[in-house]
A and B are shown apart, each in its own frame.
Chain A
Amino acid sequence: MGLDIRWPIGLMFTLIGALLAINGAVVKSDHAISLGININLIWGVVLLVFGVLMLLGAVRGGKNPPSA
């Protein structure tokens, strides 16, 4: 099939990761619920990195997102 699944996976996690990370960086909170860790920021960055790696894989794989 012509769609490389790494495109949607990469895009989705880049988006959600960025959203979480920005939220973690901007929103003031004592992080008591997550044991004092700014888990949104940390995990957002993890998701972002994962998403970008997927996108890189898709680009290197050469299958562009099918032109609609």
Chain B
Amino acid sequence: MQPIQLQWIDYTILIAYVVFVIGIGWMLARYMKTSSDFLTSARSIPTWVTGLAFISANLGALELVGMAASGAKYGIATAHFYWVGAIPAMIFLAVFMMPFYYGSKARSTPEYLKMRFDERVRGLNAIAFAVMTIFASGISMDALAKLLNELLGWNYNFALLICSGVVLVYVLKGGLTSAIYTEVLQFFMIVLGFAPVVYLGLKDVGGWHAMNHSLQAVAANPSALYLKDAGITYAPDAWTSAWRPVLAGSAHNPMGVDWFAMIFGLGFVLSFGYWCTNFLVVQRAMAAKNMTAARNTPLVAAVPKMFFPFLVIVPGMIAVALTSMPAKKGEEPYRIPPPIVAQANYDQAVAAVKNATVPDSSAVKAVRDALGEKVDSGKILSLVAANKAGQLTDTQIQQGLYNSIAENYYSGVILSLVKKYCPPGLLGLALTALLASFMSGMAGNVTAFNTVFTYDLYQAYFVKGKSDHHYFITGKVITVVGIILSMGAAYFAKQYDNAMDIIQLVFGFVNAPIFATFLLGMFWKRTTGTGAFLGLFGGIAGSTVFHALTIATGNVPGIKGGYLHVVQVFPSEMAQNFWLASFAFIVCFTLTVVISLATSRTKSDAELKGLVYSLTPKIVDHNIPIYQKPAVVGIVLLIVCIILNFIFW
């Protein structure tokens, strides 16, 4: 794979974007006077801005790259991560939970836990969150630097430094406001940068129906495209229907997930846990200028979120359809990119093909050893035979080898399409969009980190009662520290792939039960601090044990689970993950209820006013127009979302 050559116009677009995001930071710098301006935007931003920032902070590049990858692996059912796994939770946050976050005047979600329960619950949540944001941003930076390295031939360190540097400058200058404003710009950049690629891809496969037609053929024999192991077949609609294959059972859809795990595990536990409690997104709504604006923030965000599958998942489906189609006249056939193999290995493999005297198993073995990847024996044999029959050029042999690698590198899908369809100019736009998504993800993490660190850890435990100016400066210093730590995490991710898997796993354990704590805290006044704290700990312990006792088919006991004893085997890692979350939630919920009933309350009804549903006066919104009423808008959005589910049933 040759690195993509950028031309002056591509660089101009890239530079224009960087100049504008830094310019926004510069323009906002003079409004930054207090810690609240810097860390919480002093609650001053209009709804449409916080709404688009809400969705953009979540739309990191791992999501863009990952959703296209899942679109290829699982088809349209990936949209469940949006229609089941996001929209209902976003509406719930807006209608039911935002009044408590915004109304309590808490500056962060851990601070809400402090007000509602006690210091212990806040501490546990704040520390876990702070560490998690650093690693999340590090993993994403590492992915970006690797991508720029593979794709454009940029130096890894240079790529990492430049991107972190740009984020540092604009966040340091304009704080949360700067992050939120640039997120809005990035939102439009991402949508407008990728839309033409999707359009060209769809046109190339002959439109939506032609694409689905090809995918139906793929479902009958997914192993031909190396999507699944040989012998696995599905009903024709496995890639093109969202619900039918899931309802048919875990053996009948490429995700390997059953409907209960999908709805309860993803749609309730994981989704509500993320959207309703994760400070990274909730912070955007808390920066809104008033209660109505804060409540409408997730609703504004839900509109684009609902239609994102067409932007981020469809490219994966296009890639599968293209791979299954015969090449057009005079063009190289397209395939989902195989894992990246160094040119030196390709050279050795080309030599192995040339040296082979007869197309036999020893020739296949020589090629496989040279490439270091699983290969399609049939294709290698015919390549060797073709070379014997008439000399092929080295380039032709290498192309043949590229096509015979029997594995897919799904993360490469989105960029392979960008490369295939974008002329200079549009290419610069699409790459800038990708860069924008990385930066919005990183800035989101850094601004959430500096707030939680400054208010919930530094001010709460280390240096209490100083002047606001002190915390303002602390916030700025912590921003720099946060970015340096993220870069450290990126190098860590580069060094130890396995260690990063373990860290993500641990955060899975920590996050799975958290929604039970917030839910009980907000809607049951009897919940006590001790109940919440021990329940949360029990939930984390429960998910750890669950993981140690279960495994997905095809995995060996170890980091993927089952290292104590295998009690239950799941058809896929995704199913294991959904069930783990469900289990952790139930443990945390049950323990919190039981321990709360066994312990006495430490906070009176008066202290819990504004923090608990039954003790807070209902918000009266007679005086706002009907299209701004969260309950009304929420119901309309829910109906649209249900209709989308039926269209792609």
Taking Cβ atoms with an 8 Å cutoff, the residues of A that contact B are: 1-3, 5, 8-9, 11-13, 15-16, 19-20, 23-24, 29, 31, 33-35, 37, 39-40, 43-44, 46-47, 50, 66, 68
Contact = CB atoms under 8 A, between A and B. Distances in A.
28 contacts: A2-B31, A3-B24, A3-B27, A5-B49, A8-B20, A8-B24, A12-B17, A12-B185, A13-B188, A16-B16, A19-B12, A19-B13, A19-B16, A19-B425, A20-B9, A20-B425, A20-B426, A31-B423, A34-B200, A34-B421, A34-B422, A35-B203, A35-B421, A39-B422, A40-B425, A40-B426, A43-B196, A68-B27
Contacts of B45: 1
B423 A40 contact: yes
A19 to B, nearest CB: 6
A5 B48 CA distance: 11
Given A12-B17, A23-B9, A66-B27, A1 B423 contact: no
B24 A43 contact: no
B625 to A, nearest CB: 19
Contacts of A68: 27
Which of A2, A5, A66 counts the most B-chain CB atoms under 10 A from its CB?
A5
Contacts of A46: 192
Which of A1, A13, A19 counts the most B-chain CB atoms under 10 A from its CB?
A1
A20 B430 CA distance: 12
B649 to A, nearest CB: 31
B40 interface: no
CB-CB nearest 8 A-B residue pairs: A40-B425, A12-B20, A5-B181, A23-B425, A43-B196, A3-B27, A1-B177, A1-B31
Given A1-B44, A43-B196, A8 B188 contact: no
Given A19-B12, A34-B421, A34-B426, A5 B185 contact: yes
B391 to A, nearest CB: 29
Which of B24, B49, B200, B425 counts the most A-chain CB atoms under 10 A from its CB?
B425
A35 B16 contact: no
B423 A39 contact: yes
A3 B423 contact: no
Contacts of A3: 24, 27-28, 31, 181
A44 B426 CA distance: 9
B423 A33 contact: yes
B184 interface: yes
A29 B7 CA distance: 15
Interface string B411-449: 000000000111111100100000000000000000000
B21 to A, nearest CB: 8
Nearest to B21: A8
Nearest to B8: A23
Contact of B426 (A9, A13, A39): A39
A2 to B, nearest CB: 6
Contact of A39 (B184, B185, B192, B200): B200
Contacts of A34: 200, 421-423, 426
Given A3-B27, A12-B20, A33-B421, A43 B13 contact: no
Contacts of A33: 420-423
A55 to B, nearest CB: 13
Interface string B7-35: 00100110011001001100110010000
B621 interface: no
A21 to B, nearest CB: 9
Given A47-B192, A50-B192, A12 B200 contact: no
